[in-house]
Amino acid sequence: MQAPFERLVRAHEHTVLRVARALVGPDDADDVWSETFLAALRAYPGLPRDANHQAWLVTITHRKAIDVLRARYRRPVPVDPQDSAAVPARISPGPAERSDILDLYAALDRLPAKQRHCVALHHLGGLPYREVAQQLGGSEVAARRAAADGVSALRRVLTDAERRPS
């Protein structure tokens, strides 16, 4: 018999939220979190007993985040007709307690999609590179390289931000 679903939620809710925030930003992360656990609740009875619950939930989170991103880019964005080069930002910072968290989200948002997904799935979601590669459709070496490049870029951006005078 499997453990109650509530125990699974408590054990992995923070990981799911971290991955969601990294992939879609703080504004849509709660929706992705909810959608993840709703989908997981439906599938939980058929899940094998020896399944890696964290990896399973991170996979669902990744797929739900992709759904949100696709929907976001399909919505029309009002722009000034005089400004044809206007491009919507992917993260619109919401209320946050610390500006460094917003700096991190902004830095994550500037990463190329593959690097952002690799960093989120491996470093925040705890998936091994093999599973990250399976999720993103590449090799383990490419996932490892993309994550390393992403972390390196994040360090550069955040270090530069700290050095700038306020």
What CATH number should be reported for the domain holding residue 105?
Answer: 1.10.10.10
Does the reported pTM lie above 0.85?
A: no
Residue with tokens 């509530």: 6
Q: Which of residues 77, 109, 124 is at a domain's end?
A: 77
Q: Which of residues 77, 108, 136 is at a domain's end?
A: 77
Q: Are 111 and 69 within one domain?
A: no
Domain residues for 64?
1-77
For 53, other C-beta atoms within 10 Å of its C-beta total 16
Q: Please give the pLDDT value at position 91.
A: 46
**Hey, what long-range contacts does 90-94 have (CB within 8 A, 24 or more apart)?**
90/25, 91/25, 91/26, 91/27, 92/25, 92/27, 93/26, 94/26, 94/27
Q: Are 5 and 62 within one domain?
A: yes
Worst-scoring range by mean pLDDT, 88-97, 103-112, 131-140, 155-164? 88-97
- The CATH number given to whatever domain includes residue 54 is 1.10.1740.10
Q: Are 54 and 15 within one domain?
A: yes
Residue with tokens 């007993």: 49
